[in-house]
Amino acid sequence: MTRILMVCLGNICRSPLAEGILKSKLPEQSFVVDSAGTGDYHIGGLPDHRSIAIARQNNIDITNQRARQFSRSDFDAFDHIYVMDQSNFQNVINLARDTVDKSKVKLIMDMLDSAISDVPDPYFGGENGFVTVFEMLDQACEKIASTLLND
Ligand code: 4NP
């Protein structure tokens, strides 16, 4: 079993999409995919309605997800931790206990040969931001899935 965790700030916009998209690309008998937020604002809440909508338009249901906060024990529970932006990266790295923990943490956009390092936070923008985020995450997750499946 390979275990992958997607992390953003609120765990309601970007990382729930990343979780749903990556799950759709991997066989569930061999992979666990989950998500969490570094913040505690939305614990227990559903994904943002705009994330639910863009996922649904792409035949992915994320309404089973509930927000939770990233915790240090996630370093033990997961093999790969993908963060959405450099702020998430710093927050997660600050909780790492050692170099093994640190080695698990990667910016998700580093999976692509792109000059863009951050998945923009769409929370305070309009619906269009969610379309852009979905497309970025779909490309990054395609690369993650193909890399994991070829290992
Ligand atoms: P996310 O977006 O990190 O992609 O889930 C956010 C959601 C909520 C807030 C910030 C970012 N917030 O400040 O409540």
Active site includes 121?
yes
pLDDT digit string (tens) for 89-125? Answer: 999 999 999 999 999 999 999 999 889 999 999 999 8
Instruction: State the pLDDT at residue 66.
Output: 98
Using the predicted structure, report yes or no on whether residue 126 has a pLDDT greater than 90.
Answer: no
Taking Cα atoms as reference points, which of 4, 11, 60, 12 lies closest to residue 33? Answer: 4
pLDDT digit string (tens) for 7-66? Answer: 999 999 999 999 999 999 999 999 999 999 999 999 999 999 999 999 999 999 999 999
Q: What is the mean pLDDT of residues 67-85?
A: 98
Of 34, 48, 74, 121, which residue is the catalytic one?
121
Q: pLDDT > 90: what percent of the chain?
A: 95
Spatial strand order of the sheet with 31-37 comes to: 31-37, 2-8, 80-83, 105-107
Ordered by start, the domain boundaries in the chain are: 2-149
Fold of the domain spanning 2-149 = Rossmann fold (3.40.50)
Active site includes 141?
no
Cβ pair 57, 135 in contact under 8 A: no
115 C-alpha to center of ligand 1: Å? 23
Q: Please name every residue paired with 101 in a beta bridge, in sequence order, or none if there are none.
A: none
